[in-house]
Structure 1
């Protein structure tokens, strides 16, 4: 039987950061979709797409 692993302050902070980043990615993706649905073009959505790519990159870096 494995003993439960103690959660450290840094691991909890990391989880909190990952959750915040994931929620940010979700919000940015929803904003992009909403702007596109409203008829806005790339001048509005391109910076958001860049931001989404950066957030997703950060999330992937943490997982690797």
Structure 2
């Protein structure tokens, strides 16, 4: 079997992936119950927690 015929055969056997990305990303239209927190609040609370830990380590050196 020549190299070109092998290449053509594998091209025919494999189908291209669908345009949706084969389910790698899903977008949900329904609204699920639960706590909804924006990303800005998550980042801000993480920064506040980091600062509080640093200040706590500086102030309460034993």
Higher relative contact order (CA 8 A, sep 6+): 1
Larger-Rg structure: 2
Q: TM-score, normalised by structure 1?
A: 0.39
Kindly indicate which of the two structures has a greater share of residues assigned to helix: 1
